[in-house]
Structure 1
Amino acid sequence: MPKGKAIPYVKRTKAKGRFYYYFDTGQVNEKGKPVWKKLPAPSDRNFGGAYAALMGHRTRRANVKSELTLKALIDLYQASETFKKKAASTKRLYELYQGELVDKLGTAPAQRLERKDIVLLLDKMADRPGAANMVQRAGGAAYSWARRRGHVTNDPFADIEEMATGEHQPWPDEVLAKALASEDGFVRLCVHLLYYTAQRIGDVAALTWRDIVGDTISLTQKKTGKALEIPIHAELAKELSRHERSLSTIIPGKPTEGKNNKIRLAIQAACAPVKVVPHGLRKNAVNSLLEAGCSTGETAAISGQSLQMVEYYARQRSQKKLGQAAMLKWQRKPN
């Protein structure tokens, strides 16, 4: 190349009296060294076409690199005040499932992702419908925030129906009675606390003996941040009296997901061959309160749920038991 006529990204080398020309692709190899592509000499009629093609590839890569990737969008969202204000349990779930989204599509430009890309990803998770739904919710939350901030204008999560997962069912009466009378002290204590407080497993696992004041259990729900004062049922009081008090949690062990899994596995083993999950006891509790004649508001005061959620949980309550409770109230009413 004549002096003063340098061509962008092209270098000239000389070997054995001959000149050779190379194009800087803007890429690096596995050792971190620049990747160069050989070019014809500028005097060669093929030089222009070869140079234009390489320049086009380099420009496209540069444009894509300058765009906000999905990973960068997720990082921005998780650093935002919107994310930080969420409940600790929600943040843990979002971090987990947004991480799964990043593992699959993290390098893709966030603005270029389309609905079909997300649908394909979720369809590949069809054997894990619960996880697929959480990826959809967590990803949708990040995109909703990013659109409000002006980082993107698209919504690849729009109008995608969640997969059917089935619902946690209340325990059969005979299984509940068996678990409440279990000879395994750990199982019996867990079941009593879950059933007679109507709380989630994480909140029950975190309860300490200091949370008991008189005949009341005080707790703040991790998911909702709602503070509750739950009167202690006589059967729960009887069970608690069988265990030694300490400065730690009522159910032994630090409140972690590992402890939650230990509770789940112990309960499942005790109730085998019937398949149950701890969360089903929350429905048992709601149903029992309603069947005892409690109002929706009274039931919600124990479970900490919204009135609408109490009704949703109570869809499978026993009509027979409700009818019996109603008749007793009717009969006690003076003419």
Structure 2
Amino acid sequence: MKPPKPRIQRKGLIWRWERGAWQPYHRSYWTEDGKPRQKEVFLAWGGDEVELDRMYWLARSGKHATQVRPATHTWRECIVEWRSDLTIQGELAPSTKKSYRRAMDTILEKNGGKDMRDLTRKQMRAALSNLAATPRKASRYAQTISILWNYAAKELDWPLGPNPASGLAKYKPAREYEPWPDWMIAKLNTAPERVQIAAELIRGTGQRPSAAITMRRDQFAGEWMTVVDEKSDEMFPVYCPDRLRVFVDGLPKRGAHMLAKNLTEPVGYSSIEHAFRTWRKDLGERAKPFTLHGLRKLAIVELAEAGASDAEIQAVTGQSAQMVAFYRKKANRKALSKAAQKRRE
């Protein structure tokens, strides 16, 4: 004899006697091509009313596992195809591929399984707004989205609409990075140890912050150091100044890298950047305009003030001739203003 049917009643909820027990189903109705349709979804509640409630509302909202269709035209599919395209990969510089890979890894982590066609321009603008504090990163993200969208539409023949990132990758720094002033260099001894180390490496090597922060100990050998040109992905030897050599020799050995996370990995750039921003905030408003990149620019100014030629400065920092000329003006102006003012004394 069957036990009484469960009293739980809801819209679309039906009960059937199966496998010696009352089993719940959710039935939904709709019209397709003028014809009435219906579908039933089994709710595996296991006799638990709380679980039944959860399963019912999943089915009611169309999110039950049996209702959700696997996404097609996903970001993951597109990225895999793009990375496998030998023609494209052969045309890109190593540094360009590296920067795209970082942006694509972020997309894969957050939205890899999502349908590309679901992305709207409004959502794209919102995502870039969240990256407003790092405009260069925001620009690269928008550029990567745009490249993948165009690739899917033109090379994969996917039925996509207008590119939601079109025209949004327009990064231009509001101003050039300011070299650190003397007072901020003097305050460096109040910064966290890892910020001090990063600052000395950036200033001493003239490299980009990301390259300096991830330097290995074996990149320093006597009076020479091996630095990385991130644009060409090449390494080349540069003379190591005495001040930096003494500093490096005095650092405790905690791993293979100068700033070691563990024995084999370096501390990440974002970790150093966060520590730097926290310290900079403690210095007050006048420190706000200065960034870690400003230490690289300071290296150019210091070299220029020491009498180095443009070619010599480029050999150390790897900066373009235009950039060296721009920051040389700051060094020349300081020297000229000092000479002019001295005449009044």
TM-score, length basis structure 1: 0.61
Question: Paired residue for 1:139?
Answer: 145
Counterpart CA distance in 2 for 1:303 and 1:320 is 21
Question: Paired residue for 2:187?
Answer: 178
Query: Partner letter of residue 323 of structure 1?
Result: L
Paired positions, count: 270
Counterpart CA distance in 2 for 1:205 and 1:323 is 34
Question: Paired residue for 1:200?
Answer: 208
Question: For structure 2, which runs of at least 5 residues remain unmatched after alignment?
Answer: 1-24, 39-69, 341-345
Secondary structure of the residue aligned to 2:236 is strand
Counterpart CA distance in 1 for 2:231 and 2:99 is 7
Counterpart CA distance in 1 for 2:193 and 2:72 is 58
1:264 to 269, 273, 294: 273
2:330 to 305, 317, 322: 317
Note if 1:240 corresponds to 2:245: no
Question: For structure 1, which runs of at least 5 residues remain unmatched after alignment?
Answer: 1-32, 40-47, 55-64, 328-335
2:129 to 114, 126, 129: 126
Query: Partner letter of residue 170 of structure 2?
Result: E
Q: CA deviation at 1:136?
A: 1.0
Matches within 5 A, 1:59-98: 68-69=73-74, 71-81=76-86, 82=88, 86-87=94-95, 89-98=98-107
Q: CA deviation at 1:154?
A: 7.4
Query: Partner letter of residue 317 of structure 1?
Result: K
Question: Paired residue for 2:319?
Answer: 305
Identical counterparts, % of pairs:
17
Question: Paired residue for 1:294?
Answer: 308
Secondary structure of the residue aligned to 2:308 is coil
Question: Paired residue for 1:8?
Answer: none
Q: CA deviation at 1:200?
A: 2.3
Q: CA deviation at 1:300?
A: 1.9
* Conservation of the 8 A alpha-carbon contact between 2:216 and 2:256: yes
Query: Partner letter of residue 145 of structure 2?
Result: G
Counterpart CA distance in 1 for 2:224 and 2:261 is 22
Q: CA deviation at 1:52?
A: 10
Instruction: Evaluate the alpha carbon distance shift between residue 170 and residue 70 of structure 1 in structure 2; reply closer, same or farther with a 3 A threshold.
Output: same
Instruction: Evaluate the alpha carbon distance shift between residue 53 and residue 323 of structure 1 in structure 2; reply closer, same or farther with a 3 A threshold.
Output: farther
Q: CA deviation at 1:206?
A: 2.4
TM-score, length basis structure 2: 0.60
Query: Partner letter of residue 236 of structure 2?
Result: L
Instruction: Evaluate the alpha carbon distance shift between residue 300 and residue 322 of structure 1 in structure 2; reply closer, same or farther with a 3 A threshold.
Output: farther
* Alignment RMSD (CA, Å): 4.4
